[in-house]
Amino acid sequence: MTSTTEEVTKKPVNMSDFTDVCGRRMWPEARIVGGEKSSFGKWPWQISLRQWRTSTYLHKCGAALLNENWAITAAHCVDNVPPSDLLLRLGEHDLSTEGEPYLHEERRVQIVASHPNFDPRTFEYDLALLRFYEPVQFQPNIIPICVPTEDENFVGRTAYVTGWGRLYEDGPLPSVLQEVSVPVINNSVCETMYRSAGYIEHIPNIFICAGWRKGGFDSCEGDSGGPMVIQREDKRFLLAGIISWGIGCAEPNQPGVYTRISEFRVWINKILQF
């Protein structure tokens, strides 16, 4: 009997308000190495960012849906690319089939707003927002991700990274969206791990690191720009990072390095108003 009263008090989700919808899984109703195939609708904010090559649009990077008009990706994915050469595919799961419970949607890009401080040498401020020509309607396979509302470092939390990137360094691209879980690590620990692998990397707080000391699980080429998400207490997901860089894929002591979204929430929210 208690379950029915709980259901009565649950207020319905306003599907046209991104702040109410964000970070929720609605389906089913109720660069990734060492990862596994995900199931349809599990990561509904994931986007395939495609670039025009000779005669067709090819998958280049990941991106994540922020609201009905905007997506977020890594600036290095769109650096010096005209918006007309970009296409976003939303609600996709298996690139090789059309027979999915809900169809994917495609959107052309009207505006590319890269962070003004983006440095292609260091990958600092590796963030860009993309505005669609037409808004998307949210549906079970197309749901935005929540942006953090406060500073939280997430160290020790489990993060989920998703994408259609290579299955290992120089390996093949998968057709089904891959997912992997990695622990968030402290930036100074991250620097120390890279040092023990022979790399001197400065990793300021605008980055967030995640990975296993022994390697084996990581994002890889083609995953860049995609989301690193963390589940909140209320079971909804928020965007902790955008896949930025790493050295190799899933190597020991070489964690993935992500742009830390909480550091940019003011900039993001300012642009989302447009």
Whole-prediction pTM value?
0.92
The Cα–Cα gap between 130 and 111 comes to 6
Neighbours of 44 (CB within 10 A): 26
Q: Which residue's entry shows tokens 């997912």?
A: 179
Q: Among residues 114, 224, 244, 262, which one is catalytic?
A: 224
Rg (CA), the chain: 18
Q: What is the CATH number of domain 158-262?
A: 2.40.10.10
Determine whether 76 is an active site residue.
yes
List the structure tokens of 112: 């590319």
Say whether 158-262 and 44-144+266-272 share the same fold: yes
Q: Mind listing the pLDDT tens digit of every residue in the chain (274 residues)?
A: 444 333 445 789 999 999 999 999 987 643 556 665 678 899 999 999 999 998 999 999 999 999 999 999 999 999 999 999 999 999 999 999 988 889 999 999 999 999 999 999 999 999 999 999 999 999 999 999 999 999 999 999 999 999 999 988 888 889 999 999 999 999 999 999 999 989 888 999 999 999 998 999 889 988 999 999 999 999 999 999 999 988 889 899 999 999 999 999 999 999 998 8
Domain boundaries, the chain: 44-144+266-272, 158-262
What letters, b where the CB count within 10 A reaches 16 and e where it falls short, cover 130-156?
bbbeeebebbbbbbbbbbbeeeeebee
The Cα–Cα gap between 268 and 23 comes to 17
Q: β-strand 207-210 against 128-132: which pairing, if any? A: unpaired
Q: Among residues 59, 76, 93, 115, which one is catalytic?
A: 76
**Separate counts of helices (H) and strands (E) for the chain:** 5, 13
**Topology of domain 44-144+266-272, CATH:** Thrombin, subunit H (2.40.10)
Q: Among residues 114, 126, 244, 262, which one is catalytic?
A: 126
List the structure tokens of 191: 């620097």
